Amino acid sequence: MAPIDSYLAIVGFGQTGWGWLLLTAAAMTIGVSVCGFLAGTVIGTMITFMQLSRHMAIRWLADCYTTVLRGVPDLLVIYLFYFGGSAFLGSLGGLFGYQGFIGMPAFLTGTLALGVVSAAYQAEVFRGAYRSVARGEIEAASAVGMRRWPKFRRIVAPLVLRYAIPGLGNTWQLVLKESALVSVTGLVELLRQSQIAAGSTRRPFEFYLMAVALYLVITWFSSILFRRMEARTTQGIRGAL
């Protein structure tokens, strides 16, 4: 069998191929990345409000959050969530008489860890986007009598999103790469499945090469999505400049 035929056989969708398992693992990578990114968006938005607060203590807490989470290795954060969550679940199980080990669900661990880490980066993106909004546009909304919530929903949020999308796209790419670290908790995502296949067939190069290709495909589609989002939010703006 020719080398190319042998390669296609093990990464294909036949009886001896790993194709379906690799695609399933790629879907798991996308799933945990999306959930972690969305969790980070929610947390990051709250951190941004804290950063923009008038109270110094609240701003200090927000700055501490972003500094610590951007300075601590992501793998360490994953370990803290996994073992800390497992210890909590074990203590909770002990209240009901269960003495065994209860592991933190791998997907939940990945979602929470990716969420709190990406929140630190997204908060900085949102804060920078808010600073980029022209003060006159916000003042004009206040001048016509708009209340705080309608002003935020109709004026501030769309403008902030317009400036934030490029930075959010970069953060998404970061989350996508960090999702490979979640494999240490036992989650069978793309990297973990590639490791399993490589160990089973003793052909690591072929499977890691396929993992690279799948990551690049996901990245390519993600880039298209964020470019379209950016184009939609700037529709009618570029032509006027």
pLDDT digits (tens, 9 = 90+) for 181-239: 999 999 999 999 999 999 998 889 989 999 999 999 999 999 999 999 988 887 755 54
Which of 75, 143, 133 minimizes the C-alpha distance to 109?
75
pLDDT for res 215? 97
Hey, what are 220's tokens? 């390519």
Q: What is the pLDDT of residues 60-98, one digit of tens each?
A: 999 999 999 999 999 999 999 999 998 888 888 887 877
Q: Residue 215: count other Cβ atoms within 10 Å of its Cβ.
A: 18
Integer angstrom CA distances of residue 4 from 7, 22, 109, 161, 206: 5, 18, 39, 46, 10
What average pLDDT score do residues 96-120 get? 91
Residue with the larger pLDDT of the pair 107 and 239? 107
The pLDDT tens digits of the residues spanning 118-170 come to: 999 999 999 999 988 877 777 777 777 777 777 778 888 888 899 999 999 99
Digit-coded pLDDT (tens) for 15-57? 778 989 999 999 999 999 999 999 999 999 999 999 999 999 9
First to last CA, the chain: 60
Q: Does residue 50 contact residue 62 with C-beta atoms inside 8 Å?
A: yes
The pTM is what? 0.90
- Rounded Cα–Cα distance for residues 20 and 182 (Å): 21
pLDDT tops 50 at residue 241: no
Cα(198)–Cα(83) distance, integer angstroms: 28
3-235 domain in CATH 1.10.3720.10?
yes
Phi first, then psi: what are they for 17, rounded to 5°?
-90, 155
